[in-house]
Copies of this chain bind each other. A is one copy, B any other.
Amino acid sequence: MQQRKGSLLSFRPDIKVLDATLRDGGLCNNFRFTDEFATALYKMNLAAGVDYMEMGYKASKTMFDREKFGKYKFCDEEDLRKIVGDNQTDLKISVMADVGRTDFRKDIIAKKDSVIDTVRVACYITEIPAAIEMIEYCANLGYETCVNVMAVSKARDEEIDSALEMLGESPVDCIYLVDSYGSLYPEQVAKLTLKYLEAGEKYKKSIGVHAHNNQQLAFGNTIEAASWGASLLDCTVNGMGRGAGNCPMELLLGFLKNPKYHLPPVLRFITDYMLPLRESGTVWGYDIPYLLTGRLNAHPRDAIECVRAQNTDYEAFNRSLLEKD
């Protein structure tokens, strides 16, 4: 029988907190954050003791129109430096790079010339070889690398085992358990975390967790994974992220016992920046349509459209999902 790692009152020095507000939150507003917002968020993360700040995606400029998205979709070096300078701090800067949507050979430069510390490669479980190609490329350039294997709630156990073996043999530093659809219950998160940790122990990789809040379980699932040994914990301020959003930073920092973490700067930032962002019309967070896709283990796209259209006929929306299923 596996034991939980540490107790509720202890603190685990292996735990690191990653702020994905600009990245996952950027999916709510096409990455159109002001410089003032991003700068204040950077300062907040420093004051709160957060370990990683994810600035956005390294999206291909041939595939995505620069005019249609804010700069955090692309994370050009000069744009990042405008916010973080040379980042002479303990806060690591990360970016996400989607398999198949990143011109990584062109857009990811040598680590020594970049303010970025960590590249997180996101892929579906069928794209592991392509992800490993990117991981090897980035690791050779000098970056810390993570891999976020999305939507594993749809994958079969043997696919996950195989993916973990392949990633174990790669130079990746951290493998993320990602609940893209917000469909996993804590018992399932516990089992998957133990599976990931088994591979992590064998291959010396740390394990991370990235949760979505479709069933109001993003925080619960994150601390469940952490309690078994996951050590990289994703969150966003106020839970801002695609659809139902993510694990709220304020809940996570309110829970973690490591005295390096400080909640008051997060509270201040919510008052000064997140409330105005919501008032300006940016929408995220738990809502009935997200519950309905989450419990069916379905992509949230239909729920996002339902919420966007302010369609509150939840019974009919649920019926339409069941007909597709």
A: which residues have CB within 8 A of B?
Answer: 1, 4, 8, 185-188, 213, 215-221, 223-224, 227, 248, 250-251, 254-255, 263-264, 267-268, 270-271, 275, 288, 291-292, 295, 312-315, 318-319
- Further contacts, 8 of them, CB under 8 A, given A185-B255, A216-B218, A275-B312: A186-B223, A215-B219, A217-B219, A220-B221, A250-B288, A263-B318, A268-B314, A271-B313
Check if A216 sits within 8 Å of B227, measured CB to CB.
Answer: no
Cross-chain contact of A254 among B1, B219, B221, B295 (Cβ < 8 A):
B295
Check if B1 sits within 8 Å of A223, measured CB to CB.
Answer: no
Check if B186 sits within 8 Å of A315, measured CB to CB.
Answer: no
Check if A216 sits within 8 Å of B186, measured CB to CB.
Answer: no
Check if B186 sits within 8 Å of A224, measured CB to CB.
Answer: yes
Copies of this protein, total: 2
A313's closest neighbor in chain B, by CB?
B271
A312's closest neighbor in chain B, by CB?
B271
Check if B312 sits within 8 Å of A255, measured CB to CB.
Answer: no
Check if A8 sits within 8 Å of B267, measured CB to CB.
Answer: no
Contacts of A291 in B (CB 8 A): 250-251, 254
Bound-complex Cα distance A271 to B185 (A): 26
Check if B318 sits within 8 Å of A264, measured CB to CB.
Answer: yes
With A215-B254, A216-B219 known as contacts, the answer to whether A271 contacts B186 (CB < 8 A) is no
A285 to chain B, nearest CB (A): 9
Check if B220 sits within 8 Å of A314, measured CB to CB.
Answer: no
Bound-complex Cα distance A254 to B286 (A): 15
Bound-complex Cα distance A223 to B291 (A): 16
Check if B288 sits within 8 Å of A270, measured CB to CB.
Answer: yes
Bound-complex Cα distance A318 to B215 (A): 27
Check if B216 sits within 8 Å of A216, measured CB to CB.
Answer: yes
Bound-complex Cα distance A250 to B255 (A): 26
Bound-complex Cα distance A248 to B292 (A): 13
10 closest residue pairs by CB, A with B: A220-B220, A267-B314, A267-B315, A254-B295, A268-B315, A264-B315, A216-B219, A271-B312, A216-B216, A217-B220
A229 to chain B, nearest CB (A): 14
A316 to chain B, nearest CB (A): 9
A104 to chain B, nearest CB (A): 36
